[in-house]
Structure 1
Amino acid sequence: MVRVALRTGLRWKLSAAIALVGALVAVALSLVVHNEARSSMLDNSRDMQIKQLDFTQKFFESTHRLQFGAKIDDPALPRELRDKVSAGERATYLQDTGETVPEVWAATPLGDGRVLSMHGRDPDQFAVLDDLDKALLIGSAAVVVGGCALGVLVGGRLSKRLRTAAAAVGRLADGDTSVRIRDEVGGRVRDETDDLAWAVDAMSDALQERIEAERRVTADIAHELRTPVTGLLTAAELLPPGRPSELVRDRAQAMRTLVEDVLEVARLDGYAERAELQDVALGEFVTRRVRSLDPDISIDVVRDAEVTTDPRRLERILGNLIANASRHGEPPIEVTVEGRMLRVRDHGAGFPEALLREGPSRFRTGSSDRSGRGHGLGLTIAAGQARVLGARLTFRNADALTDGSTGAVSVLWLPENAPTSTGSFPVIQLPDR
């Protein structure tokens, strides 16, 4: 089941929230103001009708003449008003259909059993109500627009600080340990973003201290092992020829290689390595190095390119990728050069899912079909050297490609420009699904 996630910016969420709240408040206030104004106008119309009715009644009783359109026993008098007047009460009645201006009736009983009534409407007075409604509508729209603008302003500021913090965290993850999130976020007013920045900075410092301590311990142990291992290897050379001597020399050499690899990983983890740059014809360089490693490896130079890189580190990466393919994959092994791109592919079971998901890790050889040989340092060293070169190293399995075949594919993308002083982390590409 595919779940679709909609991504929206913080500024637009705040704008929508403020605009919605502003619209609700504006509509509620507009309704209250409209109803109160209309009720006040209707009450005022009733009072005016009562006053005119009193004056008309007094004038009629003295002159027997009617004023202001008053009528006696008007057949159009509403039944509800007629019933109240029949009980001897003076009353008013509001006739409001909602389609026209409300009509106000007023009636009073005369002494001879007749009913004096009058009614009228005031379009001018209720036209003011229409103008009031227009003003309320314009005011509500202004509140909504102002709320959106305020949301964009406040949300934009907060969103910018969060994006700045995210970018700084990205640089920190890429190995720039000098980054401080609080300094990047800046600002004079402190809020939760600053608290988050301080927390991330504290976590970064703690992790850097732990990583540095582990690196120093690893480097010190490997350095201390180098001397006895070298002595052991020298002593092994003095043993008399035979199978036991060969086994001792082989294991001593394997231990020496492991110590050298651990020392190299420690140096790469310390970000102290710098590339010694030279101009290299990539196709010729790769062909010569691969032929010296294994003449049976297939080499295909699709398009040659001249690159500025460190030949020693490039040779180290190429050797480790080929060694990994030879040790864990199956022949044939193919090396392809296409411009600045270098690809090494075998036809084995492919990389384990853990490596594709998390990248190379020291002393982890992967799943059971690619484990049991090696120490997991080859690809770790290749990734570290690629970082020094400013290159991008990707890993994927051939079964994710279009030809349907299997195998592990390692691709090194050399940069167009010379690497920086610190290089950059290689990118680990996940397999296509």
Structure 2
Amino acid sequence: MRGIFLRLVPERVERAGIRTGLRWKLSAAIALVGALVAIALSLVVHNAARVSMLDNARDLADERLQIAQRNYELSGRPNFPDIKIDDPRLPAELRAKVKQGRRATFVADGRRGEPDIWAAVPLKDGHVMSLHTGFTDRSTDILKDLDQALFIGSIAAVLGGSALGVLIGGQLSGRLRKAAAAANRVAKGEPDVRVREAIGGVVRDETDDLARAVDAMADALQQRLEAERRVTADIAHELRTPVTGLLTAAELLPPGRPTELVLDRAKAMRTLVEDVLEVARLDSASERAELQDIMLGEFVARRVAAKDPDIEVLVVHESEVTTDPRRLERVLFNLLANAARHGKPPVQVTVEGRVIRVRDHGPGFPEDLLADGPSRFRTGSTDRAGHGHGLGLTIAAGQARVLGARLTFRNVRPPGAAPDMTAEGAVAVLWLPEHAPTNTGSYPMLPGD
């Protein structure tokens, strides 16, 4: 059951490349949009202000030209030093308009990049009166001040947008992190956790929809797994009586090879039924450890010697632990049975503090077992030629969870050997917890889990 949840929400996600947070992505997006808007707005405001100042300058030049025209008609000469009669520098475009008998103004590009203001009017005597002025220093200063204000405002808008993006993105990413943490707890087998309650808050957004969807999916999977577990347990329970009867009847058969074959298969079926029932109980997460204080090295040495005196037990460091002896023995015997069936002698057991290692010298564990952990009805033999039903390691892992322990698997290869090189043995390691499992079903795990 927990394995399926682990596939649903992986505990660790490895990604290639640079990983950036949502708050920084959102902040960068808002800053970029703010910068583009500020630049566009600054250009519009700068151009509008420049056009307005040019229009005012042209109107002022036109008014001065009209005054000069009236004075010229009265006195016969211009009264202002910047008023010219038939100025040869008069732009051709403006000269063409004046020849049509119209008073006109014109803006030309100056030598220093500043605009030149021209105004011209035809006189009654056929001459052309014109006025030539430049953009005033005051107008230039006003434009510079305006550009500076627009630049400072743009910077403030970008920084403010970035800060707003960090704030909004931080709240959103915080809710997503809470949702991910709750989903990981569900993946570890805590069915009472609800993602929607974990994220909390009064804001209702898409993260709430995601949380509700994850909660609904987890509930549906939990119900389906529970239904499958009950069906499996019911079938195994119903098979116990006929299998027991079959075994009893087989023992009453006359001695001989056929009787031995029937007894062997009947015993294998009874073992399979008992193992399936045990897996179903472990899947229900209702198993609790019956704790005792034991000396781990002495306990392991005594149990292994009673099972197989030929197995070497090395106690590197003795330690007193609080655990369930019956479940610990079940894990130990299953690991020894797996090593005997799928490995090669010698089988060695090492006890070091709270750690128990079981090593054989066979071809090693299959790669899929190392990657995904024990799987039901998958034996430790790569060609599936070994005996057994593939439930031994699954039961060992389940009992280890009840003990609050961690069970790991690895293959032994020479130093510097290629990953595809044949292993020189397999090692199963049981890491008992520093603190005993509680009676609430929450099992302390070792750091790094």
- TM-score over 0.5 for the alignment? yes
In 2, Cα distance between equivalents of 1:103 and 1:298:
104
Q: Partner residue of 1:327?
A: 341
Matches within 5 A, 1:309-388: 309-365=323-379, 368-388=382-402
Q: Partner residue of 1:422?
A: 441
Pick from 152, 165, 184: which aligns with 1:151? 165
What is the number of residues matched between the two proteins? 427
In 1, Cα distance between equivalents of 2:228 and 2:111:
83
Q: Partner residue of 2:26?
A: 14
Matches within 5 A, 1:147-226: 147-226=161-240
Matches within 5 A, 1:29-428: 29-63=41-75, 64-67=77-80, 69-74=82-87, 76-78=89-91, 80-82=93-95, 84-85=97-98, 88-97=101-110, 99-120=112-133, 121-365=135-379, 368-399=382-413, 402=416, 405-420=423-438, 421-424=440-443
CA RMSD of aligned residues (A): 2.9
In 2, Cα distance between equivalents of 1:101 and 1:347:
90
Q: Name the SS of the counterpart of 1:375 in structure 2.
A: coil
**What is the CA deviation profile of residues 17-58 of structure 1, one whole-angstrom value per residue up to 9, with x for unaligned ones?**
222222222211211111111111111111111111111222
Q: Name the SS of the counterpart of 1:266 in structure 2.
A: helix
In 2, Cα distance between equivalents of 1:17 and 1:108:
55
**What is the CA deviation profile of residues 279-325 of structure 1, one whole-angstrom value per residue up to 9, with x for unaligned ones?**
33333332332233333334333433333222221121111111111
> Are the counterparts in 1 of residues 341 and 386 from structure 2 also a CA contact under 8 Å?
no
> Are the counterparts in 2 of residues 281 and 305 from structure 1 also a CA contact under 8 Å?
yes
**CA drift at 1:269:** 0.8
> Are the counterparts in 2 of residues 19 and 148 from structure 1 also a CA contact under 8 Å?
yes
Change (3 A) 1:184 1:16: same
Change (3 A) 1:378 1:151: same
**Could you tell me which amino acid in structure 2 is paired with residue 33 of structure 1?**
V
**What is the CA deviation profile of residues 64-104 of structure 1, one whole-angstrom value per residue up to 9, with x for unaligned ones?**
34226323344554455455546655333323358554221
Q: Name the SS of the counterpart of 1:369 in structure 2.
A: coil
Q: Unpaired runs of 5+ in structure 1?
A: none
**CA drift at 1:192:** 2.1
Change (3 A) 1:284 1:17: same
Q: Unpaired runs of 5+ in structure 2?
A: 1-14
**Could you tell me which amino acid in structure 1 is paired with residue 346 of structure 2?**
P
Q: Normalising to structure 2: TM-score of the pair?
A: 0.85
In 2, Cα distance between equivalents of 1:97 and 1:241:
123
Q: Partner residue of 2:12?
A: none
In 2, Cα distance between equivalents of 1:301 and 1:103:
100
> Are the counterparts in 2 of residues 41 and 126 from structure 1 also a CA contact under 8 Å?
no
Change (3 A) 1:231 1:65: closer
Change (3 A) 1:339 1:61: farther
**What is the CA deviation profile of residues 249-291 of structure 1, one whole-angstrom value per residue up to 9, with x for unaligned ones?**
3333222222221111111111111112223333333233223
> Are the counterparts in 2 of residues 298 and 334 from structure 1 also a CA contact under 8 Å?
yes
Q: Partner residue of 2:4?
A: none
In 1, Cα distance between equivalents of 2:401 and 2:147:
68
State the identity %.
68
In 2, Cα distance between equivalents of 1:103 and 1:338:
94
